[in-house]
Amino acid sequence: MKQIQINKILKENKDLFDTLERHDETMELPFQRKKINLTLSVEIINKLKQMREKTGKPISQIIEEKFV
């Protein structure tokens, strides 16, 4: 394969190669999920439950959407 073709592939798929490089360093992918334990006030938990009932989304998804 010619260097020009290689550079073109690298340029077109830069985000993919960056993700793979990050995986090599950390052994994690950005779309992987991890389970954590949190301590929240009863008020916040109740608000999250209300949002879950209104939207039909899991609480974890509601929280993730606030950060993305």
Which whole number is the average pLDDT over 18-22? Answer: 88
Same domain, yes or no: 24 and 38: no
> How does DSSP assign 28-47, residue by residue?
--TT----------HHHHHH
Same domain, yes or no: 22 and 38: no
pTM of the model: 0.56
Same domain, yes or no: 25 and 43: no
- Tokens encoding 52: 């879950």
Q: Are 23 and 29 in contact (CB under 8 A)?
A: yes
Same domain, yes or no: 39 and 63: yes
Domain containing 47: what range?
Answer: 34-68
Same domain, yes or no: 42 and 62: yes
The string of pLDDT tens digits covering residues 38-65 is 899 999 999 999 999 999 999 999 999 9
More confident residue, 52 or 19: 52
Same domain, yes or no: 46 and 68: yes
